[in-house]
Structure 1
Amino acid sequence: MGKYAVINPATGETIKEYPTATDAGIQDAIAAAQKAYTEWSRKTTLAERAALAQKAADLFRERKETLGAIINREMGKPLVQSIGEAEFSGDITEVFAKNAEEWLADEVLDVEDGLRTFIRHQGLGVILGIMPWNYPYYQVARFASPNLILGNTIVLKHAESCPESALAIEQIYRDAGFPEGAYVNVFASHEQVSTIIADDRIQGVSLTGSERAGAIVAEQAGKYLKKCVLELGGSDVFLVLETDNIDHAVKHAVAGRMENTGQACNGSKRIVVMDKYFDEFTEKFKAAIAGLSYENGDFGPLSSAGATRGLSAQVQGALAQGAKLLVGDNDPKGNVYTPSILAEITPAMDVYSQELFGPVAQIYKVSSDEEAIELANASPYGLGSIVICDDLERAEKVGNQLDVGMVFIGASGLEGADIPFGGVKKSGYGRELGKGGMMEFANKKLFRFAG
């Protein structure tokens, strides 16, 4: 059997294993996707493809209970959050279906010679998607749905720990009416992924994953001149600059850090608080984090034994270098890791520039906006940020100076189905969601008519 397997992180039980694809199976998948592109995508209208996507959106929501149960046992997400992710995937797909004709409308150019000239947005061909385990439906929906509507076809390699959700998503698109080959799931090995990228029938690759995986895929895509979109790690800051409502700031800091048990690329991993609020904020933040309960479903287990070992090693390294745990014990029970807060971190420590992918917050005290900006930008990552500041002009001014792809002012959780998502620096490049996300793998084809 292959390495694709459902291993319940709450119990450690291996529920089912799936064989890795054969090399012949990979070639069949690419051939089917190419056939669907040439014989179906190029011969259907945008409206027809959007109508199928709307059916897929409906199915995501209709099947939310079943879909939620699948990822609850695959990667440990609390059931309520799992069901919510399935619903949000339907919302994303519906937003693309409803806005596609407006977003992809011909762009008429006002040219000097007066000739009729416009740009038409069409598909490129077969696009490879390499998707992660932390949001098994959401990440796929925001990649696959806009591309299918645009006129691309999809070969999808999901995380090895998510085979059941991978098959469930493929079934949704098939049941919505997309033809065979329009969306093809492959249980590919890393070596087979390299083969897929090199294939001339593949026109682009989108990866959501680690910095290491992104660097490998980007190198391979560049070698073969393939368009690439990368959504990688993050160590987002949560800046508390000025507020009359510390309780509000604490509430959103907890939400930003604990979303998906802290396993979100754009989670608020570094909490940066102005000195005049630091003591009050820290005490309330400690109480809120310490009050979270695994038994009550406030958080779930980490996704795997490997993830648990990795996070524990990072925290132990920080403690060995002089950091302090304000909450937590770095002593997981199985894959259940107690939510924690690290303090007294200095730039000399490894953790200062690391991403902690789990329920561990870092907290810092600063005495000026300039110091907060410098600390925020010291990270090698540049995905998102949250700025809590009652003076919105000041908040925007600080946001202008952050080396990130996204600035949310006043609250966490401001993501939306039609809001572009992406980062800079080692958080990757390109955007997903919204009009910009739909354009990433578009052929911006020029039409020009003689007078």
Structure 2
Amino acid sequence: MFSIVNPFNTTFLSEHQYFTGVQVIKILQNSDHTAHTWGAKTIAERLNFIKTLIFSLTKSQHLMAKTCTLEMGKPIKQSVAEVEKCKLLCEYYLKNAEEFLKDRHIAADGSESFVTHEPLGVILGVMPWNFPYWQVFRFAIPAIIAGNTVVVKHASNVAGSAILLEELFKDAGFPEGVYTNLLIAGDQVKEVIDNPIIKAVSLTGSEKAGTSVASAAAAQVKKSVLELGGSNALIICADADLETAVPIAITARFQNTGQSCIAAKRFLVHSSIFDVFMEKFIKGVAELKSGDPMDEATYIGPLARVDLAEEVEKQVNDSVAMGAKIAIGGKRNNAFYEPTVLTNVTADMPVFAEEVFGPAVPVVPFDTLEEAVKLSNATGFGLGVSVFTTDVDAIKSKISLFQEGAVFINAMVKSDPALPFGGIKRSGFGRELAENGIKEFVNVKTVFIA
């Protein structure tokens, strides 16, 4: 039995019991049974359910957003935006899924050759708390449209949001077993992966969790897709338009109170404009409103748990002990941590060398683009990088130098249904979204006719 507590005011929200091993097996068997009939439907038939799901999302939007905000502290306007984004993903695949999954005829020896895309069966999703709806949707919707069924082990501190997701699919009329909430503890995941019913696994989460899940899947020769976070750099070149760049930089670091895999976590600013940038940036950060996440005016809420705020506090304090200077912020109150900007930072300090999953950011000057690229790549992660400049062609010619899954020019790194999403190095492997994402959990079957 475990309880969920509101991180804003520590009030009790709900109590839950993890499923027993017997319950888990029954759920897996049910999902496996459904997979045979669901996979036999045409793509058009499956997409009809997605149309209904969009209506269910619209109907449940307020409840879903409120539950998310209460459970993990996301400011309410951002919670509403997250649900809206789930609808955009559904609409994207409604428009494109049939084209992505259609048979591909190939010229080869023989009278006919083509490739089909067939579902694998039951796919396990292991999902995080920071975007409790969007992260699930970007995994589950493409997999389900492709003909798979999914079981989702969600983060325990958003168990209420997880339950709402299952109810959403039921409300939309999906056959029982297409989407199932698997309320289990972390130490139960390996046993689920070991079950032969599970054909593949997708995880979004920490590097430690990803290593564990990928190892378990590999031991059973099962495919896995991993998105393990990042330490994205945001580079401000000497010719950048600061009036445009600064507001985007603030959003890129501080939305969702800094708790985002693709947040800009290390700022690199050309030395010739460093002071001007800092003046504008700190002024913008100081104007961010912290407080009750249910207040629509709030932009910075509490972190999802007190221990997460304590970890950010430690990374900042340890960096200060090594010589970093706090330009603004630096204080913690329970799960709240002030939006914090640090200067005089070196690459060996925790706020630069580690992923900081909260509202703190180091700002480091550079003199040449080559230096900026080297600093950007000086991390084990490789999810994305943002570069701000008016000379777009110059950066386009150097895209290959960045060791990242994505390069965004004059924009913050973001996930978009139309763009493949994922990283390299310790940020994981595989891709979600776009055509790549819907083909991650299919059998690409070659057919050759002599």
TM-score category (smaller protein): over 0.9
1:417-432 equivalences in 2 (<5 Å) = 417-432=417-432
What is the Cα deviation at residue 200 of structure 1? 0.9
In structure 2, C-alpha distance between the alignment counterparts of 1:120 and 1:89, rounded to whole Å: 28
AA in 2 matched with 1:286 = I
1:364-403 equivalences in 2 (<5 Å) = 364-403=364-403
Partner of 2:39: 42
Aligned pair partner of 1:98 in 76, 80, 95: 95
In structure 1, C-alpha distance between the alignment counterparts of 2:212 and 2:134, rounded to whole Å: 23
Partner of 1:313: 314
In structure 1, C-alpha distance between the alignment counterparts of 2:388 and 2:348, rounded to whole Å: 27
Aligned pair partner of 1:19 in 3, 17, 20: 17
Question: Please, which moves more after superposition, 152-161 or 408-417?
Answer: 408-417
In structure 1, C-alpha distance between the alignment counterparts of 2:420 and 2:224, rounded to whole Å: 17
1:228 maps to 2:224: yes
Aligned pair partner of 1:84 in 55, 78, 81: 81
In structure 1, C-alpha distance between the alignment counterparts of 2:272 and 2:399, rounded to whole Å: 21
Partner of 1:285: 281
SS in 1 for 2:236: strand
Partner of 1:132: 128
CA RMSD of aligned residues (A): 1.3
- Work out the percentage of aligned pairs sharing the same amino acid: 37
What is the Cα deviation at residue 413 of structure 1? 5.7
AA in 2 matched with 1:226 = K
Native 8 Å contact 1:50 1:98 kept in 2: no
Native 8 Å contact 1:6 1:73 kept in 2: no
Native 8 Å contact 1:107 1:118 kept in 2: yes
Native 8 Å contact 1:93 1:142 kept in 2: no
In structure 2, C-alpha distance between the alignment counterparts of 1:414 and 1:378, rounded to whole Å: 21
In structure 1, C-alpha distance between the alignment counterparts of 2:59 and 2:239, rounded to whole Å: 42
SS in 1 for 2:124: strand
In structure 2, C-alpha distance between the alignment counterparts of 1:368 and 1:114, rounded to whole Å: 56
Question: Please, which moves more after superposition, 10-19 or 89-98?
Answer: 89-98
TM-score, normalised with respect to structure 2 = 0.96
In structure 2, C-alpha distance between the alignment counterparts of 1:283 and 1:389, rounded to whole Å: 19
What is the Cα deviation at residue 414 of structure 1? 5.0
In structure 2, C-alpha distance between the alignment counterparts of 1:127 and 1:115, rounded to whole Å: 36
SS in 1 for 2:50: helix
Native 8 Å contact 2:386 2:412 kept in 1: yes
1:104-253 equivalences in 2 (<5 Å) = 104-111=101-108, 113-243=109-239, 245-253=241-249
Question: Please, which moves more after superposition, 224-233 or 332-341?
Answer: 332-341
Unaligned runs of 5+ in 1: none
What is the Cα deviation at residue 244 of structure 1? 5.2
Partner of 1:303: 304
AA in 1 matched with 2:96 = N
Native 8 Å contact 1:75 1:302 kept in 2: yes
Question: Please, which moves more after superposition, 28-37 or 393-402?
Answer: 393-402
Native 8 Å contact 1:26 1:192 kept in 2: no
AA in 2 matched with 1:321 = M
Native 8 Å contact 1:210 1:232 kept in 2: yes
Distance change >3 Å, CA 413–CA 63, structure 1 → 2: farther
Task: Show CA shifts across 1:60-82 (max 9, x none).
Answer: 22321111101010100111110
Partner of 2:268: 272
What is the Cα deviation at residue 448 of structure 1? 2.0
In structure 2, C-alpha distance between the alignment counterparts of 1:231 and 1:244, rounded to whole Å: 30
Partner of 1:31: 29
Q: Number of matched residues? A: 445
Native 8 Å contact 2:290 2:300 kept in 1: yes
TM-score, normalised with respect to structure 1 = 0.96
Distance change >3 Å, CA 414–CA 205, structure 1 → 2: closer
Native 8 Å contact 2:115 2:446 kept in 1: yes
What is the Cα deviation at residue 421 of structure 1? 0.9
Question: Please, which moves more after superposition, 206-215 or 169-178?
Answer: 169-178
AA in 2 matched with 1:7 = V
